[in-house]
Chain A
Amino acid sequence: MNAHPSRLPTPAWEDLVTAALLGTDRRTPPGAAPGRSAPAALLDAAAAETVRRRAGLRPGPAAPLLEPAPEDPRPKLPVAAARRLAFLLADRPGTGTGGRRGTAPDLMELLPQWLTAVNTRGFAAPAESLPALLDAARGRTDLRAAALEFAGPRALWLARLNPDWRFALRATPGGGASLPGPDERRRVETLWQEGLFAERVALLAAIRFRAPDAARELLAATWSTERAEDRLMFLDSLRTGLSARDEPFLEQALADRSRNVRATAAELLSALPGSALAARMAVRAGTCVAVDHTADTPTLVVEAPHECDAAMERDGVSAKAPPGRGERSWWFGQLVEAAPLAAWQARLGGRTPQEIVALPVADDWLSELHAAWCRAAVRQRDADWSRALLGAPSSPGAGGPGAVSLAERAKLLGTLPVAERADWVAGFIAAHGLSEAFQLLGVCAVPWAGPLGRSVVDALNIARDAGSYPWSFSGVMGLAERCLDPAEATRLDALLAVPDEPEDASPGAGGYWAEAFQRLGRTLRLRAVMAQELEVP
């Protein structure tokens, strides 16, 4: 607003301020009426002038208006769901009591799932919720991608106005509104040539996502002038949409000055079973493994490489073994891991993956060989080999220290179709209980398939009957709250009461179990309501 002396010179006011600052003992105020003391006269005049100045206020000139936010064409979130969002965002971390969890659902834990659901349905976030969404995305990196997708173009418009939210401009996958698309050649060119490193990484990832070849060509154009660490990061973005057309470029990168760049290029090539590198590795690995028919049953014998030659190193084999590993087994593992799995069937007498995995292995090479096959199956996303290496979920080795660790099993499960994955884990839990199942449950699709959910609830019930405390299973319980199908809530009804305590049970465990099951039931019901709220009437 403008009524300030600079705009509308009011000498009288200036004089009053000067007299007031110096004091009437030193400066006689202007226009003092006779009969009034100097200070009173000054205050009289200042009061009249203050009210006059305030009453004369006018709006100031408008600054240039902002470029309006881009349209968000997505449908509006239903009213009930918009209210739910306000709840979920009000439940901020760091304000909790930290103690026992009680029976109330943990809203913050449900936010990621809720965001996934609204994004799947393609709703637009309510405009007034954007600041809270951006704050949540800033505080929790695990939420960031989903929160920003939901927040949409207006959030990026907003983030440009507030330095606290700058992260959103960098973090938006697929570029959002701030990054040029693959067809905007001039802008792409400029940003790629002049952009900051983070902007260039984001640009490359965005273009790779939509036009893989264009991204590779962009990278190839400046490849020789990039710094080593930058080359590594750029190369990594080629994981998205990797195809045989990338082979020549990657093959060239195998000769890179940087060892890390070479290793990454080799890893990417080995994920392309048809590549020349994969073929070279197949030959090398093949010479190390053979079937020994002289034994009673056919047995695999392993002859690990005697040296790591320059050609092997060029193909990404790391020559120096980590401390505590034998060099030869270290090289051998890398060869098998990078060799295409299909080659083994030909090499080992046309056997199926199941038959190959079932073969005995001589001289304690079993775990080395199977672990390398596991890594290869994951890298090449080969479901047949994964199935063979996983074995039957009920087999004794699956739950204990078998040839394949739980972490590897979890990764192998990731290559199987969703339904098969759930069935395998259900079978595993039925046979081995819950204590080892956490990692495996984490790779199952949400909501859990019926048989999987039932096996988890059954196993929790068994654990309760065994008299242990529920917090021994708090990880699985927390997963169940987020992942069980809400339709299963009624199955919990029988578990909500506090049971009579068996003699050998831990003291008070029954009450805690009842509480844990109550929370589980409540969370499931809440999730059902939340899903309903997203249905457009």
Chain B
Amino acid sequence: MTQQGVRWTADQVLALAPDSTSRKAGSGLGTAGPWSGTGSSREGAVWGLCEGGGGLPYRTVVDTADAAGPAYRCSCPSRKFPCKHALGLLLLWSGGEGSMPAGQAPDWAEEWIAGRRRAQEKREAGPTGSATGPADPEGARRRAERRAERITSGATELEERLADLLRSGLASAEQSGYGLWEETAARMVDAQAPGLAARVRELGSIPASGPGWPVRLLEECALLHLLDQGWLHRERLPDALAATVRARVGLPSSAVGPPVRDQWLVLAQYDTPDPKLTTRRIWLHGTTSGRTALLLSYGAAGRAPELSLPVGLALDAELSAHAGTGQQRMSLGEQFAPPVPTGIRPPGVTPTEATARYGDTLRRDPWQVSVPVTLDAVVPTPADGSWQLADAEGDTALPLTRLAASRPGLWRLVALSGGAPLRVFGECGHRGFTPLTAWPTGAGEAVRLC
């Protein structure tokens, strides 16, 4: 593999930016101008000195070859992560512009790179060392038991709360307002059931969500009730469904499946920011196994999640599935080579097959809101004041979700199509379809829509 072959596109680099200000600042530094002493190694490290505000230039180094996405180090005082210098350096590298000679890293960069490699080897060697399990298995068991008891009391309380609501009628929910639900959500947090807490919070927002809210409120109350009941009777459920219930309630799940090695194509990456926590979702498609996988990564306030895999790359890696049914969540295991750009596209289905796939998933996980689907040969089409993806061959169509129809990505999709069919990856569920990535008819790179 040549060095040029592993370079990313500018779009892929800019996807790493924690916010739009960093995107802009990083773009400004993506030219040979402010840089000196730049270079890159065959192993995927990139380094350079960037003139900053004062005397000494900032030392920036990025390791692009890590399995968990690029790692950054910069001597600048920015709290943004990655900082604009790291972005600028990667842009410079991605463009192949100016001087980015292959070579030996200077001492200051080499030290950090070597340190990372050592830590990585240690991590890889780790599992054998930690195979003995937690130091105090008895203590861990007791803690887990206590937590289960608290969740049980939380779920029981929630059941009473839902019964009260149904007894007096949903119409009363419109008046009772958001505060009551907030309080209940806080009690679910106390009960260490973040999954329940999130659902309760969502209930609170439904009465203000516009026409048809009573139906949506009933649906969500019923599904929450179903989850409570699933938890309270979990020992009578099949193992896989019980694992799904545990994950939905909010217990941490771990990768238990056997590692699946494949060329994983990065289909989409997007963040859901929250004041306290940014959740990053990365959808992967195994080009040999045909599996679709979801990687989750989190970043504390103001920091981008560390795992970053730009759309359009493929990585040779092992993934392990989490316990549970109907879920695609997997964890990234060993990575055998740095991610490389690829022209491979995932195979697509028709709108009818997409809804069937969603329905099928619900049998195993009734709480699923949407499933990842690639649609082939669909045309973005205006309909009823919104947009739909119409089957170019047949006469059926999937409506876009309200959120998707209001995002700027919609117009990238429409422009890319020009009225012609294209291939679109996205999430398909009961609210409609949310397009995330599209490929034009004929040749062309994947285009991010989110």
Contacts and interface: CB of A to CB of B under 8 A. Distances in A.
B166 A161 contact: no
Nearest to A151: B415
A20 B166 contact: yes
Per CB-CB distance, the 4 closest pairs between chain A and chain B, nearest first, are A23-B169, A522-B33, A68-B419, A69-B418
Given A23-B171, A104-B33, 5 more contacts: A21-B169, A46-B221, A55-B360, A59-B352, A525-B31
B412 A128 contact: yes
Chain A contact surface mostly: helix
A154 B9 contact: no
B450 to A, nearest CB: 13
A50 B10 contact: no
Contacts of A342: none
Interface residues of A, number: 69
Nearest to B360: A55
B27 A87 contact: yes
B219 interface: yes
B111 interface: no
Interface string A284-326: 0000000000000000000000000000000000000000000
Interface of B: 9-11, 14, 20-21, 23-24, 27-34, 51, 91, 94-95, 97-98, 159, 162-172, 214-215, 218-219, 221-223, 225-226, 351-352, 354-355, 358-360, 362-363, 366, 379, 381-384, 388, 390-392, 394-399, 408, 411-412, 414-416, 418-420, 430, 432, 440, 447
Given A51-B362, A107-B27, A16 B33 contact: no
B168 A23 contact: yes
A342 B190 CA distance: 95
Interface of A: 1, 16-17, 20-26, 37-40, 42-44, 46-47, 49-51, 54-69, 80, 83, 86-87, 90-92, 95, 103-105, 107, 127-131, 154-155, 157-158, 161-162, 518-519, 521-523, 525-526, 529
A103 B36 CA distance: 13
Given A21-B171, A63-B388, A86-B10, A131 B411 contact: yes
A518 B33 contact: yes
A51 B219 CA distance: 9
B218 A46 contact: yes
Given A51-B362, A63-B381, A63-B382, A68 B418 contact: yes
A44 B226 CA distance: 7
Nearest to A66: B419
Contact of A58 (B28, B166, B352): B352
A42 B395 contact: no
A127 B418 contact: yes
Contact of B169 (A26, A62, A67, A521): A26
Contacts of B390: 62-63, 65
B355 A58 contact: yes
Contacts of B354: 59
B397 A61 contact: yes
A62 B34 contact: no
A61 B430 contact: no
B412 to A, nearest CB: 5
Nearest to B397: A62
- Residue of B24, B164, B215, B390 with highest tally of chain A CB at under 10 A: B215
B366 to A, nearest CB: 4
A158 B415 contact: yes
A128 B94 CA distance: 20
A17 B362 contact: no
27 contacts: A1-B398, A23-B167, A23-B168, A23-B169, A38-B166, A47-B226, A47-B366, A50-B219, A50-B222, A51-B362, A55-B359, A60-B396, A63-B381, A63-B388, A68-B419, A92-B24, A103-B51, A104-B29, A105-B31, A127-B440, A129-B415, A154-B418, A157-B418, A525-B32, A525-B33, A525-B98, A529-B98
B359 A21 contact: no
Contact of B399 (A1, A44, A54, A55): A1
A43 B222 contact: yes
A73 to B, nearest CB: 14
Given A51-B362, A526-B31, A95 B21 contact: yes
Contacts of A158: 411, 414-415
A37 B215 CA distance: 21
A38 B28 CA distance: 64
A62 B391 contact: yes
Contacts of A43: 162-163, 166, 221-222, 225-226
B158 to A, nearest CB: 11
Nearest to B217: A20
B381 A127 contact: no
Contact of B416 (A24, A104, A128, A518): A128
B31 A522 contact: yes
Contact of A66 (B14, B359, B379): B379
Contacts of A24: 166-167
Contacts of B33: 103-105, 518-519, 521-523, 525-526
A161 B387 CA distance: 11
Given A39-B162, A61-B395, A161-B414, A20 B29 contact: no
Contacts of B32: 522, 525-526, 529
A54 B166 CA distance: 22
Contacts of B358: 54-55, 57
